[in-house]
Structure 1
Amino acid sequence: MTTAVDKLTLVEYLAYDDGTDVKYELVDGELVEMPPESDRNNLISLYLLSQFLKFVPIQLIRHKDTELVVIGNRTRVRLPDLMILTQELLEAIAGGRATITPDMPPPVMVVEVVSPGKVNEDRDYRYKRSEYAARGIPEYWIVDATQARITLLTLVDGLYEEAVFQGTDVIKSVTFPMLNLTAAQVLTPGQNIPNP
């Protein structure tokens, strides 16, 4: 962890290497260690990846390892569970580090799968919500298996409008209207839940 005196800049964060495979987000100049995901959360994000592959080219999908620079009190770097890029953004990243910087266009969609605990809930429901809206991301999904719901946020005039889906509710995405999934299918992947 860093102290108040030695807060990292974005450049320092991008060059940081502690010799381990630990993943960090940068939050207001401080390194925040991202613990390994639960098996359930991994399965949910992989299931969504498999569903988006049906109509989104693989080169436009990012899973867990692409950084997204957002602005807070200081620069913040997030590691979303899943992102869908535009062709323009793909070209901006091409050949470089998998980091979406503020001078690049935003992704079309970001998905965060909530880990249990108040700190994780606050991060996904509160902080990332405002950060992603400020970054201009058209659609943000908060997938919460503990609460058995998917909160789909659609950017309208700079603010997110919220729709919540549970159980057999069919998820209605403005960005991806061809998607035909229920909340239960996403929240319990691998189980035999019929298509809507």
Structure 2
Amino acid sequence: MIAAVKKLTLNEYLAYDDGTDARYELVDGELVEMPPKSDRNNLISLYLLSQFLKFVPIQLIRHKDTELVVIGNRTRVRLPDLIHLTQELYDAIAGRRATIAPDMPSPAMVVEVVSLGKVNEDRDYRYKRSEYAARGIPEYSIVDADRARITLLTLIDGLYEETVFEGTELIKSATFPMLDLTAAQILSAGQA
């Protein structure tokens, strides 16, 4: 007989420390270890970070280590690659643990850089899409180097409408209307 795995509450997750540097997302009460990002994905997210910082102060950008609490069947905690905070959200975090709790405002934008494998694709394209929409995040970008495209999801009436950018097509973002980048420019940042 297989013993049931104890489901963690949000508070138990927030207090969890296994004494390692492992990073975990909380998915329906279970810890899911996040493997290290590939160098390609790190370069892409750092490139985007450098571009965003041209238009917003560093206080309003988070890179990889800010937790975002979303609600599914049970509480889930995600670790997006990039988050653009609103000033109101920045004030709500106010020097506390870098966790965006359910009672806090939503970020203005979240960016995920897709890692290899079906499990990762499903997480970024399917599950996070519905979770981020339910959380009310106005814009969600999925950067997919393997498919050589960037999917920009814009929240309209509670659902995301999708626009796919490839090659030299200029990306049109409501969050960063002044951004003058193509999918090819962003994806080439991952080619060291």
Give the TM-score normalised by the residue count of structure 2.
0.96
Count of residues in Structure 1 that have an aligned counterpart in Structure 2 = 189
Question: In 2, distance between residues paired with 1:22 and 1:63?
Answer: 16
Counterpart of 1:64? 64
Question: In 1, distance between residues paired with 2:106 and 2:4?
Answer: 30
* Runs (5+) with no aligned partner, structure 1: 192-196
Question: In 2, distance between residues paired with 1:180 and 1:93?
Answer: 30
Question: In 2, distance between residues paired with 1:168 and 1:93?
Answer: 37
CA shift digits 1:20-56 (9 cap, x unpaired): 0000000000000000000000000000000000011
Any residues of structure 2 matched to 1:1-196 within 5 Å, and which? 4-189=4-189
Runs of 4+ in 1 over 4 A off after TM superposition: none
* Runs (5+) with no aligned partner, structure 2: none
Give the TM-score normalised by the residue count of structure 1.
0.95
Q: What secondary structure sits across from 1:163 in the alignment?
A: strand
Question: In 1, distance between residues paired with 2:66 and 2:12?
Answer: 17
CA separation of 1:187 and 1:101: change in aligned 2, threshold 3 A:
same
Q: What secondary structure sits across from 1:142 in the alignment?
A: strand
CA RMSD, Structure 1 to Structure 2 (Å): 1.0
Question: In 1, distance between residues paired with 2:175 and 2:91?
Answer: 20
- Compare relative contact order (CA 8 Å, sep 6+) and give the higher one, 1 or 2: 2
Percent identical pairs in the alignment equals 85
Question: In 1, distance between residues paired with 2:190 and 2:16?
Answer: 38
Question: In 2, distance between residues paired with 1:95 and 1:142?
Answer: 28
